[in-house]
Amino acid sequence: MIFTRSTLMVLLLTVTFGVSFALLSPIFTDAQLEQKTFVTHSGRVIETSGEVLDPVYTVSTVDFDPDEFLRNFEYGRISISDNGQTIRDYTIIAEDDKVQEISPGVFFNVWTFNGTVPGPTIRATEGDLVRIHFINNGSKSHTMHFHGIHPAEMDGVFEIVGGNGGQFTYEFEAGPVGVHPYHCHVMPLEEHIVHGLYGVFIVDPKEGRPPADELVMVLNGFDTDFDTENNFYAANTIPFYYQHHPIQINTDQLIRIYVVNMVEFDPINNFHLHGNLYQYYPTGTDLVPSFYTDMITLSQTERGIMEFQYDYPGKYLFHAHKVEFSEKGWVGLFLVKDNSTSEAYYGN
Amino acid sequence: METSEKTSRIKVVTSGIIPFVFVVLMVAYIFGPGADLLDLGVPLPELTIEKIAFEKSEIHVTVRNTGPLPVQVVMADVNDRIHPAAIEPDKFLNRYETALVRIPFEWNEAEPYTIGLTTDDGTRFERNIDAAAPALQMNFEFVVFFAIIGTYVGIIPVMIGLLWLPFIKKISKSKYHFFLALTVGLLLFLGIDSIEEAFDVSLENLGGSFNDVLLIATTVVLSFLGLYYVSEKLTGRADSLRISKPVVIGLMIAIGIGLHNFGEGLAIGAAVGLGSIAFSTFLIVGFALHNTTEGLAIAAPMSRGKLMIGKLITMGIIAGAPAIFGAWVGGFAFSPFSSVVFLSIGAGAIFQVIVIILKWIREEGDKNLSSAAVAAGFATGMFVMYATSILI
């Protein structure tokens, strides 16, 4: 009897200590022997036997391609009306069930116009008839609200478009000249915007602007843990993307950036350019620049056009000088090539 | 006859197995056809940052998946600013699995830092450090340093406490009971103190998934039962092993106190490791004063046996030396889970000792636990401990 009792006790103690020990000792599974490397902010090279967690400098790609978005303009299906007016037809489909990688390894439920955040850049000339065939394939109600001049019933506020195939056609004359945002305007508005239902609407002056390498930058952010503070910031959605994929431009070439600030939660955003200053046209409504600066401050949906050219080749940073934003992704590089050795690129 | 015995045995075994079969069926049902029943709510990921060490030009973060789901750690930040980092062995963490995140960062000593880790669903988990201090390197200098501190805190005060032995030897029976009860008071206080410390460590460092209250309760009870069993065996065989009952009781007290002092060593080592130097000075002085009373606890029962200097010194070392090991572990290899377990084992050990001494008093004191001497001793013990604990 004593024997069984002590055996039981020993067994009990063994089990207890065994379980504790198993929990105590970290479990190392499939230790990889191959060394990987990454660089730090100060350029040091670090080796690791594990995995690299680096959205900042390590080249990586996700579903959405900011390079493609950067120089992509949607001019619509063009037709001419009887009175000679250009008609531009667009089809925009809203969805709200996609889960996309918005930073390497980070998956977030984005609500999209035509499958991307931001939605397509809609571009027309002043006076064109813009016709948007809006289909809501989401599960919630959505609309499209354009900043600009249009009739009240085309404002996308009271004309709620129900989900699961609801439709609406927005029709208005493009104007005024400039760069404007469009976004969903269903309440709760903040929720619909921060999930990604926004895009850029460019209205060109009839006489056009001087030829330039034209870029679109939507300054945006994501609050992935829903604490009403952004976890990520970016120019064109993907944090740090243009840092490891520098935007290639040429010396002595006019660069024109249509910049729209869609960051929510934080009252301001800004745009600082290195090694240069730019002519700035607030909202792009005037053809004469208002400022010559390297720093503009943008409130919610505040936007404008920046024009500049580089004299010297090399790598130049551009970033939010609200450094918190740049250290969470809103930072990039221009790789300026010597114009004499490469072909000039002209957008538009 | 034999066959009927066999059948009855089979019956017993079968009746023991049948409920198990139903348990298996029940579990199989909930995971199989009844799986819809479990489809309630959304399980959320959970990471617990257990340890942050400031190495040369790097911050080392030990993280454990304490949630119900496997997760991937995909990003690290310092003060809510994203930094390139590495995770070893890999970023996939199953439940309870740990990994080391290395963030290259030129940190500044004594500045506060917040370390954040983001999982694949974009949830960020963070932990604050009040003041960055270089992680202790396990070199000869620090090993010696902790050994000296451990000796100062553990061994020396216990030895000083043992010097009360001749005094206790000479006093009357009721006064002796007073001192035994005083010991009980001291130990009860230490036991409560250990449990409180275990709660502190688990609250600060462990995820809720460890069920800290139950972890501590279970460990305390198991430790109590284990040591109680061992000491009963030892006491029962005391005569045949040619050691006297007072010595056995003294030894059990010394073991209990030793486990407790291991916890104190842990606290000191961890405090030095975390760079709370001022705090650890208080800890060292406070524990040292506090621990002289522990010597008294060992001396009290031993005073009724023959004076055995050698055994006394051994017990002083058994009670005191674990403080050195504790300081080493706390300083060099702090693990919150093992600390909680050790502190709980210590508490269980102390409660076991309390039961033994109370029994001893009852046997010695004509089956009476309610004499004035005992009550006064008990109260004094608690009060003295409280008074000295304020010094920490």
Q: How high is the pLDDT of residue A149? A: 95
Interface A-B, measured as beta-carbon pairs within 8 A, has a size of: 131
**Sign, Cα dihedral of B344, B345, B349, B355:** positive
**DSSP secondary-structure letter at B64?**
E
Q: How high is the pLDDT of residue A32? A: 43
Domain boundary among B129, B157, B174: B129
- Are B369 and B361 contacting, i.e. CB atoms less than 8 angstroms apart? yes
Residues of B at the A interface (Cβ-Cβ below 8 Å)?
57, 72-76, 80-91, 96-102, 104, 106, 118, 120-124, 222, 226, 229, 233, 335, 337-338, 341
- B180 and B297 fall within a common domain: yes
Looking at beta carbons, which residues of chain A come within 8 Å of B228? none
Range from A55-59, B6-10, B136-140, B342-346 that averages highest in pLDDT = A55-59
A232: nearest CA partner in chain B:
B82
Task: Check CB contact under 8 Å for A50 and B222.
Answer: no
Indicate which CATH number applies to the domain containing B114.
2.60.40.10
pLDDT at residue B235 tops 80: no
Structural domain harbouring B61: 47-129
Residue among B88, B90, B122 whose CB faces A224 most closely: B122
Helix or strand (DSSP H, E) at B81:
strand B81-83
Q: Angle at the Cα of B214 (from B212 to B219), degrees rounded to 5?
A: 95
Residue among A24, A38, A51 whose CB faces B335 most closely: A24
Q: Which two tokens stand for residue B156?
A: 């020396």
Residue among B87, B118, B341 whose CB faces A51 most closely: B87
**In this structure, are strands B47-55 and B58-65 parallel, antiparallel, or unpaired?**
antiparallel
pLDDT at residue B274 tops 70: no
Tell me what percent of the residues of chain A surpass a pLDDT of 90: 80
What distance, in Å, lies between the first and last C-alpha atoms of chain B? 72
Domain boundary among B102, B129, B156: B129
Task: Check CB contact under 8 Å for A107 and B82.
Answer: no
Contacts of A210 (CB under 8 A, 6+ apart): A254
Distance from CA of A24 to the nearest CA of B (A): 6
Task: Check CB contact under 8 Å for A327 and B98.
Answer: no
- B214 and B308 fall within a common domain: yes
pLDDT at residue B301 tops 80: no
Contacts of A86 (CB under 8 A, 6+ apart): A78, A79, A80, A124, A125, A127, A128, A129
Residue B92 included in any domain = yes
B116: nearest CA partner in chain A:
A231
**Is the backbone of residue A100 left (phi > 0), alpha (psi -120 to 50) or beta?**
beta
Contacts of B122 (CB under 8 A, 6+ apart): A102, A106, A107, A108, A222, A224, A225, A231
* pLDDT-derived band at B205, boundaries 50, 70, 90: confident
pLDDT at residue A186 tops 90: yes
Name which residue leads in pLDDT, A224 or B293: A224
Task: Check CB contact under 8 Å for A46 and B91.
Answer: no
Task: Check CB contact under 8 Å for B90 and A107.
Answer: no
Read off the pLDDT of residues B325-365 as tens digits, 9 standing for 90 and up.
Answer: 888 887 777 777 877 887 788 788 778 878 877 887 887 76
Residue B222 included in any domain = yes
pLDDT at residue A341 tops 60: no
Task: Check CB contact under 8 Å for A38 and B84.
Answer: yes
Task: Check CB contact under 8 Å for A26 and B121.
Answer: no
- Are A283 and A179 contacting, i.e. CB atoms less than 8 angstroms apart? yes
Task: Check CB contact under 8 Å for B57 and A44.
Answer: yes
pLDDT at residue B264 tops 90: no
Task: Check CB contact under 8 Å for A51 and B102.
Answer: no
Amino acid letter at B285? V
Q: Which of B66, B82, B95, B101 to mutate to test the interface with A (most CBs of A within 10 A)?
A: B82
What SS3 class is residue A256? strand
Tell me what percent of the residues of chain B surpass a pLDDT of 90: 17
- B305 and B374 fall within a common domain: yes
pLDDT at residue A347 tops 50: no
- Alpha-carbon span B154 to B142, nearest angstrom: 17
Residue A80 forms beta bridges with which residues?
Answer: A86
Distance from CA of B84 to the nearest CA of A (A): 4
pLDDT at residue B242 tops 60: no
SS3 content of chain A, % helix, strand, coil (to 5): 15, 40, 45
Residue among A32, A53, A231 whose CB faces B73 most closely: A53
Q: What's phi and psi for A69, nearest 5 deg?
A: -65, -35
Q: How high is the pLDDT of residue B309? A: 80
pLDDT at residue A9 tops 80: no
Please state the rounded mean pLDDT for residues A127-144: 96
Looking at beta carbons, which residues of chain A come within 8 Å of B341? 20, 24
Q: How high is the pLDDT of residue B233? A: 77
pLDDT at residue A24 tops 60: no
Please state the rounded mean pLDDT for residues A137-164: 95
Looking at beta carbons, which residues of chain B come within 8 Å of A24? 335, 337-338, 341
Task: Check CB contact under 8 Å for A30 and B89.
Answer: yes
- B101 and B235 fall within a common domain: no
Q: Which of A17, A28, A53, A231 to mutate to test the interface with B (most CBs of B within 10 A)?
A: A53
Read off the pLDDT of residues A88-117 as tens digits, 9 standing for 90 and up.
Answer: 999 999 999 999 999 999 999 999 999 999
- Alpha-carbon span A331 to B83, nearest angstrom: 13
Q: How high is the pLDDT of residue B348? A: 85
Distances (CA, A) of B360 to B177, B230, B243, B356: 10, 17, 16, 6
Chain centre distance of CA B25: 39
What SS3 class is residue A140? coil
- B160 and B92 fall within a common domain: no
Distance from CA of B85 to the nearest CA of A (A): 5
- Give residue for tokens 């409560």: B192
**Is the backbone of residue B141 left (phi > 0), alpha (psi -120 to 50) or beta?**
alpha
Please state the rounded mean pLDDT for residues B5-23: 86
Residue B187 included in any domain = yes
Tell me what percent of the residues of chain A surpass a pLDDT of 70: 88
**In this structure, are strands A232-235 and A198-204 parallel, antiparallel, or unpaired?**
unpaired
- Alpha-carbon span A275 to A75, nearest angstrom: 33
* pLDDT-derived band at A13, boundaries 50, 70, 90: low
- B254 and B349 fall within a common domain: yes
- Are B177 and B374 contacting, i.e. CB atoms less than 8 angstroms apart? yes
Q: What's phi and psi for B300, nearest 5 deg?
A: -55, -55
Q: Angle at the Cα of A148 (from A290 to A209), degrees rounded to 5?
A: 50
Residue among B86, B97, B100 whose CB faces A46 most closely: B86
What distance, in Å, lies between the first and last C-alpha atoms of chain A? 94
Looking at beta carbons, which residues of chain A come within 8 Å of B82? 55-56, 239-240, 327-329
Range from A253-257, B106-110, B125-129 that averages highest in pLDDT = A253-257
Length of chain A measured in residues:
348
Which one, of B318, B41, B356, lies nearest residue B159 by Cα? B318
Round the average pLDDT of chain A to a whole number and report it: 90
Looking at beta carbons, which residues of chain A come within 8 Å of B55? none
Please state the rounded mean pLDDT for residues B128-154: 83
Please state the rounded mean pLDDT for residues A280-306: 95
Q: What's phi and psi for B240, nearest 5 deg?
A: -65, -30
CATH level 3 topology of A66-341: Immunoglobulin-like (2.60.40)
Looking at beta carbons, which residues of chain A come within 8 Å of B102? 46, 48
Q: How many domains does chain B have?
A: 2
B220: nearest CA partner in chain A:
A16
Domain boundary among B129, B160, B184: B129
* pLDDT-derived band at A218, boundaries 50, 70, 90: very high
- B170 and B198 fall within a common domain: yes
Name which residue leads in pLDDT, A60 or B108: B108
- Alpha-carbon span A57 to A165, nearest angstrom: 42
Distance from CA of B131 to the nearest CA of A (A): 22
Task: Check CB contact under 8 Å for A56 and B82.
Answer: yes
- Alpha-carbon span B43 to A187, nearest angstrom: 28
Task: Check CB contact under 8 Å for A224 and B121.
Answer: yes
Q: How high is the pLDDT of residue A20? A: 57
Contacts of A21 (CB under 8 A, 6+ apart): none
pLDDT at residue A210 tops 60: yes
- Looking at A8-17, A238-247, B68-77, B128-137, which range is the least confident one? A8-17
- Alpha-carbon span A150 to A172, nearest angstrom: 6
Residue B135 included in any domain = no
Report domain extents, chain A. 66-341
- Looking at A228-237, A313-322, B29-38, B50-59, which range is the least confident one? B29-38
Distance from CA of A150 to the nearest CA of B (A): 39
Amino acid letter at B181? A
Residue B34 included in any domain = no
B82: nearest CA partner in chain A:
A328
- B54 and B202 fall within a common domain: no
Distance from CA of B232 to the nearest CA of A (A): 12
Please state the rounded mean pLDDT for residues A131-156: 96
Using CA atoms in the order A189, A192, A193, A194, what is the torsion angle rounded to 10 degrees?
Answer: 120
Distances (CA, A) of A161 to A134, A135, A168, A170, B185: 9, 8, 7, 11, 75
Distance from CA of A202 to the nearest CA of B (A): 32
Question: How many DSSP H helices and E strands does chain B contain?
Answer: 12, 9
Q: Which two tokens stand for residue A149?
A: 């001049």
**Sign, Cα dihedral of A166, A171, A176, A177:** positive
Q: Which two tokens stand for residue B77?
A: 């930040």
Contacts of A7 (CB under 8 A, 6+ apart): none
* pLDDT-derived band at B278, boundaries 50, 70, 90: low
Length of chain B measured in residues:
392
Q: Angle at the Cα of A278 (from A276 to A280), degrees rounded to 5?
A: 160
Amino acid letter at A292? Y
- Are A272 and A327 contacting, i.e. CB atoms less than 8 angstroms apart? no
B105: nearest CA partner in chain A:
A40
Q: What is the ipTM of this complex?
A: 0.83
Q: How high is the pLDDT of residue B113? A: 94
Looking at beta carbons, which residues of chain A come within 8 Å of B337? 23-24
- B377 and B267 fall within a common domain: yes
- Give residue for tokens 């600060």: B204
Helix or strand (DSSP H, E) at B323:
helix B322-332
Which one, of B354, B172, B170, lies nearest residue B249 by Cα? B354
